[in-house]
């Protein structure tokens, strides 16, 4: 699953979408919250985009639906996915297959997964559709889908950390 000294317990997780202003920005905040709720404090969570405009804020839709759920994305700034980001990551979760393909091009073999696959989603697609430009109801659906997936990811990571400790 991962490379490096802690194969069952990734310490650096990156969530990837296209612009890093909607899905991965929300997923980052949701995963941090889900990990914290499980008492996992030693995992660094960040996000990046395969076509991100470096420094762009979260989209208005992501920002607004984040606020509705108690997430403050006002400080989020988009980051471009680079080879350095990939090489410094233990686990990379992508929102779509084309993101996974780009991450693999940057050398993440064995460390990259579609978010739905890693979470163990058994119903529906392993991908998360892009809400960019849609109305707030679509952003809410995306947020809710990501909240469910990030809870599943956090549960898996917490279990892997428990097993790694013995």
Enzyme catalytic residues: 17, 23, 130
Any idea how long the chain is? Answer: 166
Half-sphere exposure in the Cβ direction for 163 (13 Å, CA): 11
Contact 42, 159 (CB under 8 A): no
Contact 13, 89 (CB under 8 A): yes
Residue 70 burial (C-beta neighbours within 10 Å; 0-12, 13-18, 19+):
exposed
Cβ neighbour number for residue 63 with a 10 Å cutoff: 20
* Residues 6+ positions from 24 with CB-CB distance below 8 Å: 15, 16, 17, 47, 48, 49, 95
């Amino acid at each position: 699953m991962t490379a490096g000294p802690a194969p069952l317990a990734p310490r650096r997780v990156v969530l990837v979408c296209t612009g890093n202003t909607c899905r991965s920005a929300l997923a980052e905040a949701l995963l941090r919250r889900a990990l914290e709720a499980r008492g996992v404090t030693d995992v660094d969570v960040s996000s990046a985009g395969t076509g991100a405009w470096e420094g762009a804020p979260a989209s208005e839709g992501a920002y607004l639906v984040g606020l509705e759920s108690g997430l403050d994305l006002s400080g989020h700034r988009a980051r471009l996915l680079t080879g350095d980001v990939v090489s410094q990551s233990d686990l990379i979760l992508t929102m779509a297959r084309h993101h996974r393909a780009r991450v693999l091009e940057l050398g993440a073999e064995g460390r990259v997964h579609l978010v739905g696959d890693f979470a163990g989603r058994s119903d529906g697609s392993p991908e998360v559709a892009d809400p960019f430009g849609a109305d707030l109801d679509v952003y809410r659906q995306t947020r809710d889908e990501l909240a469910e997936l990030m809870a599943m990811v956090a549960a898996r990571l917490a279990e892997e950390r428990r097993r790694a400790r013995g």
